[in-house]
Amino acid sequence: MKVLHVITNFSALGGAESMLSRLIQAQPEHEHHVIALMRVNDTYQAALDRCASVKALHWNGINTLSCLLQLRRQIKALQPAVIQCWMYHANVLVSLACLGVSSHPPIVWGIHHSL
């Protein structure tokens, strides 16, 4: 199954990033694609090596419209079976990017919180 993971940042040492890395490594039977709204670096290189594609949009808040358009193009080009969003910004931007797209894949929101 082709899965598109959209995460706010894939270059920090955070819980969502670690969980995404573990998920990708634990499911080699799926075709994983990762789009980071901000940045990607080699912190999670083992997971990135298993991905079919990895892209960073370099989102900074000011370029939100441009990132939405890039995200929309990537979703249409990849045609994933499902989109898994990681954290609040990714949830919202993916939902906005898919507005008006008649046949977008299911979007699964991921919200993680630690007390």
Number of domains composing the chain: 1
In a domain, 18, yes or no: yes
Give yes or no for residue 53 having a pLDDT over 70: yes
In a domain, 113, yes or no: no
> Is residue 83 very low, low, confident or very high in pLDDT (cuts 50, 70, 90)?
very high
**Arithmetic mean of pLDDT, 100-106:** 85
pLDDT, residue 38, reads: 96
pLDDT, residue 50, reads: 96
In a domain, 89, yes or no: yes
> Is residue 112 very low, low, confident or very high in pLDDT (cuts 50, 70, 90)?
confident
Radius of gyration from C-alpha coordinates of the chain = 13
| Contact (CB, 8 A) for 3 and 30 | yes
The per-residue pLDDT for range 16-40, each reduced to its tens digit, is 899 999 999 999 999 999 999 999 9
The CATH number for 69's domain is: 3.40.50.10320
pLDDT, residue 115, reads: 65
In a domain, 114, yes or no: no
The residue with greater pLDDT, 104 or 33, is: 33
Q: Residue 89 is part of which domain span?
A: 2-108
Quote the CA–CA distance of 72 and 49 in Å, as a whole number: 24
Q: How far is CA 96 from CA 9, 56, 67, in A?
A: 18, 18, 11
CA 54 from centre of chain: 9
Q: How far apart are the first and last CA of the chain?
A: 34
| Contact (CB, 8 A) for 5 and 94 | no
